[in-house]
Amino acid sequence: MTTPSPDVRAALPDALRRPAMAVVGVAVVVFGVLAARYAGDGRAGRVDWHAENLVDSLGGAHRWVFGRLTTFGSPPFVVIAGVVLAGVCFALGRRRLAILAIVGPGLTGLATTFLKPTVGRTIEGGFAFPSGHTGGATSIALVVALLLVSLLNPGRRLSMALVGTVTLVAGGTIGASMVVIGSHYPTDTLGGFCAAVAIVLSCALLLERLAAVRAGRHTTSL
């Protein structure tokens, strides 16, 4: 009996859909807990103090490098990267991923922008939670990782490892950079990371659900 070939059109392979649902649930819970804990606050929490000391000890001497890295999470870069990524996905026949490359980062940017004043956490007078730069970089990295999975089809475990590694490295790097330059507390960046993961994976799951509904209607009509 032959193993069915994977649907290269999928934004999220079958094997990753249940893990994605679990990850979305965890991300939403973590985001909610952090938002409730730091709502209306303008001070660093205990977790922030410990994380800031670690980040400063590792990267404080290279502050200018981290300052440059923050560009990769800036709104202009995320918009351009999303459009280019969508074009690449479309050219490779991954239309759902092309849609995800626009919708995922776009909704993440809107969410992090409008949630900041809602949560009301501040740093040096500016709204800080969740970090939009971290969310933007994470959302783009997650779509890139899903594209790599679609192209390489490495199997369930390696797919999960690939998606997790790419997303954590990108989000962690930009998040750490934002902490080093003093624009965010560590928990702000964690909030941005969770927001991006929850939104992008939810969009991917929704795209697959809509595709399944369309396929079902097509089969019924035949």
* Least-confidence region, from 63-67, 106-110, 125-129: 63-67
- The predicted model gives 164-173 an average pLDDT of 96
Higher-confidence residue of 193 and 153: namely 193
Domain that holds residue 101: 14-38+67-212
Residue 8 has pLDDT above 80, yes or no: no
Distance CA 136, CA 4 (A): 35
pLDDT at residue 27 tops 50: yes
Residue 168 has pLDDT above 80, yes or no: yes
Average pLDDT score, the chain? 89
Quick check: is 219 in a domain?
no
Residue 57: pLDDT band (50, 70, 90) is low
> What's the domain count of the chain?
1
**71 within a domain of the structure (yes/no):** yes
Tokens of 91: 């050219």
Q: Choose between 208 and 50: higher pLDDT.
A: 208
Residue 10 pLDDT more than 90? Answer: no
Per the omega criterion (within 30 degrees of 0), is the bond before 105 cis? no
For residue 145, being part of any structural domain is answered with yes
1 falls within a domain: no
What pLDDT sits at residue 4?
42
Residue 37 CA to residue 58 CA, distance in Å, equals: 27
Dump pLDDT digits (tens) for 173-205: 999 899 988 889 999 999 999 999 999 999 999
The answer to whether residue 137 sits within a structural domain is yes
Domain-located, residue 208: yes
Alpha-carbon span 102 to 213, nearest angstrom: 22
Let me know if residue 113 belongs to a domain. yes
pLDDT digits (tens, 9 = 90+) for 28-54: 999 999 999 999 998 888 888 877 777
Answer yes or no: is 47 within a domain. Answer: no
- For residues 65 and 71, give the distance between their C-alpha atoms in angstroms, rounded to a whole number: 11
State the pLDDT at residue 1: 37
Q: What is the pLDDT of residue 60?
A: 55
Task: Over range 144-159, report the average pLDDT.
Answer: 93
